[in-house]
Amino acid sequence: MAVLSAKARILIAGQAPGLRVHESGLPFNDASGDRLRDWLGVDREQFYNPDNFAILPMGFCFPGYDRHGSDLPPRRECAPLWRDRALSVMPQIELVLAIGAHAQARHLGRKAPMTETVRDWRRPVEQGVLPLPHPSWRNTGWLKRNPWFEMDLLPELRTVVSRWIV
């Protein structure tokens, strides 16, 4: 579920794999991955090239579903157990794409609502972190209610990403 890299300068910090991704063993191998690649302006080959991106979720396993059929959050014991060790072998990382509230809390040290965190994206970029909503279809309504995301943030994201893609 993780793609560690000695060359990538961009880390995709996700939450935890959904069931389909968990079963395939390939991160973002679903419709969320298609949307994320579109946001980044890259194709599958570029996305899975470890010279371009490292991928490290908050949890390695599918955490199950809640009573409404939504994915549960990453298990709390996962990231503290191994995340710092995994990051220590990738000192070249210059930008963390913190996808979703759990990754944002971990990388930004704040537990503000996700919309507030993403809306304030310019300040975290100075810290080497760019907060993004999860690219799940479940956030389609959020994307429609927040058109600034596509108009302001995505063009900057694509510009930054294009500097480091091989």
CB 19 within 8 A of CB 64: no
- Dist. CA 127–CA 137, nearest whole Å: 29
CB 40 within 8 A of CB 132: no
CB 100 within 8 A of CB 133: yes
pTM value is 0.89
In tens digits, the chain (166 residues) has pLDDT values of 678 899 999 999 988 666 576 566 688 988 999 999 999 999 999 999 999 999 998 877 676 778 987 776 777 777 777 888 899 999 999 999 999 988 998 889 878 899 999 999 988 777 899 999 999 988 999 999 999 999 999 999 999 999 999 8
Residue 84 φ/ψ, nearest 5 degrees: -60, -35
Q: What pLDDT does residue 65 have?
A: 78
Q: What pLDDT does residue 21 have?
A: 61
CB 166 within 8 A of CB 49: yes
Q: Is 55 helix (H, G, I), strand (E, B) or coil?
A: strand
Q: What pLDDT does residue 69 have?
A: 77
- Dist. CA 30–CA 21, nearest whole Å: 7
> Where along the chain do its domains lie?
10-163
Place of tokens 């949307």: 35
- Dist. CA 81–CA 97, nearest whole Å: 21
Superfamily of domain 10-163: Uracil-DNA glycosylase-like domain (3.40.470.10)
For 21, counting Cβ atoms within 10 Å of its Cβ (0-12 exposed, 13-18 middle, 19+ buried), the class is buried
